[in-house]
Structure 1
Amino acid sequence: MRELFEAVADGEVSPAEAEARLTGYASTDAGRFDAGRESRSGVPEAVLADGKTTAEITTLAEAALTTTGRAIVTRIGPEQAAAVTAEGVTDDGSVTDEYHDRARVLTLHAEGFERPDLDATVAVVTGGTADRAVAGEATVVLREMGADVTRIDDVGVAHLGRVLDELDAIRAADVAVVAAGREGALPTVVAGLVDTPVVGVPVASGYGHAGDGEAALSGLLQSCTALSVVNVDAGFTAGVQAGLIARTVSAARRESTE
């Protein structure tokens, strides 16, 4: 601990980073950033932009970069993402940023940051184009967790041949995230055709009664085939669940080769 205090005094470690090492979180005016989440649970912490001002998001992103070398901001629109980076987070050139437009996710990486590298593949599958935003959120978090991602889009069950044409690719993955709106049939069909874990994501797309994702959620919860189900539009959660499975698969593979 004395070495840490001396490093703070010498300017080698920031007070926020020191706090994060001691407590597992960094305190800011915008809230506490859970800097220890990834080391504690394997899940990278993210900042949800919904309900936060640009200044608050920027403050939390800076805390994330200082304490973990990376910031993931979800559910953020393009204008607010541009405003966050314009606030000075990337001014000195040591931070790279990427805005994932369809997924509405902003990722920032400090110089020298290296993502984990998992020996595992996740298939991210969508029923239709309307599902791509949710699937994109899952894809970003999976890649940040170090998994290889195979995207398979627009294979909804209205034409079952589309998913059958991609079945080999889905079966080759270690785990699948399957996003679908309307009645949510695709994840249940896929789960009946593969021997890998399936995480179903109901999407809020459809007409009229229960078209806000309620029908898809109910269909997945009542699935005759075995699969896991997350909340409506919960792409981040689906990505995390699949990422944790991929992490376990990767660890087992590497242990078997040692």
Structure 2
Amino acid sequence: MRELLEAVAEGSLSPAQAEAELAGYVTDDAGRFDATRRQRRGIPEAILAEGKSPDAVASLAATALETTGRALLTRLSDEQFQVLESSLEDVEDEATIERWSTSALVRSSTYERSSLEATVAIVTAGTVDGPVADEAQVVCEDAGASVDRIDDVGVAALDRVLDQADRLRAADVVIVAAGREGALPTVVAGLVDAPVIAIPVSSGYGHGGDGEAALAGMLQSCTVLSVVNIDAGFVAGAQATLIARAVDRVAFSGNESDPADDSDL
């Protein structure tokens, strides 16, 4: 405790960083940010931008950047992204921002991303599934896993996915995003021996539209797979990250330290 107070007094530690050390979270006008989730759960806190004002999103991102060195954001609108990008100009420590459709990852110049000896294949049935798959990808890339993106291989032309069988079989975990009737994850799960995580996407129309038929089909899959909620790209990416970390631990089980056991603070 005294060391923390002395560090704050001398300016080497900010009050927000001290609060994160003591409480595990930081409170600002926009809400609370869980700064130690990655240490507890192996996956970081993400900022859900949907339903928040652009200023609130920027404020939470600044808190995340200050306490963990990076901010992971999902469901960003163009307006929110513009305000976020503008707010980074006021950050003393130069930060970089990467955007995947409606998701973004902000990193400070001193942040060192971990590296996992594991590959996550992220597969889409069609281009409409891209933004949901992007949400999963940003989580996996932030964790340090290698991502092999395989797009537009829906079952309307089965040869498209069969042509990618070797890539799919090389992955340690596979995420498949599909709308309509949601058949692609079942097909992929029948081709590989790795865990498959299915994401029903809210595409399609008519009876069972908005992802409902895809969800039902995936839950009834005759091949073994796991299913997340409709459009839940972040959840799928987080599940894949936990699997990738387990694969990485096995790969480095002979080492004294686990390179994936990084600290945000």
Please give the TM-score of this superposition, normalised by the length of structure 2.
Answer: 0.93
Q: Equivalent of 2:187, from 171, 182, 189?
A: 189
* SS across alignment from 2:20: helix
Higher RCO, Cα 8 Å, sep 6+: 2
* SS across alignment from 2:177: strand
Q: Is the 8 A contact 2:93 2:108 kept in 1?
A: no
Residue aligning to 1:178: 176
Q: How many residues align?
A: 256
Q: Is the 8 A contact 2:88 2:95 kept in 1?
A: no
1:26 is aligned with what amino acid?
Answer: V
Residue aligning to 1:164: 162
**C-alpha distance in 1 between matches for 2:254 and 2:13:** 38
1:191-247 C-alpha deviation (Å, 9 max, x unpaired): 111110000000011121111000000001111111000000111110110111001
Query: Displacement of 1:256 after TM fit?
Result: 4.3
**C-alpha distance in 1 between matches for 2:52 and 2:64:** 16
**C-alpha distance in 2 between matches for 1:90 and 1:212:** 40
Query: Displacement of 1:93 after TM fit?
Result: 5.5
**C-alpha distance in 1 between matches for 2:188 and 2:109:** 40
1:111-159 C-alpha deviation (Å, 9 max, x unpaired): 2101110000000001111111111111111000110000011111111
1:78 is aligned with what amino acid?
Answer: D
Residues 109/232 of structure 1: CA separation in 2 closer, same or farther (3 Å cut): same
2:151 is aligned with what amino acid?
Answer: D
Query: Displacement of 1:55 after TM fit?
Result: 1.3
Runs of 5+ unmatched residues, structure 2: 257-265
Root-mean-square deviation (CA), in Å? Answer: 1.3
Residue aligning to 1:96: 96
* SS across alignment from 1:250: helix
Q: Is the 8 A contact 1:35 1:64 kept in 2?
A: yes
Q: Equivalent of 1:223, from 221, 224, 227?
A: 221
Q: Equivalent of 1:208, from 206, 209, 227?
A: 206
Residue aligning to 1:135: 133
Q: State the identity as a percent.
A: 58
**C-alpha distance in 1 between matches for 2:245 and 2:164:** 24
Residue aligning to 1:241: 239
Q: Is the 8 A contact 2:104 2:138 kept in 1?
A: no
Please give the TM-score of this superposition, normalised by the length of structure 1.
Answer: 0.96
Query: Displacement of 1:95 after TM fit?
Result: 1.2
Residues 22/257 of structure 1: CA separation in 2 closer, same or farther (3 Å cut): closer
1:95 is aligned with what amino acid?
Answer: A
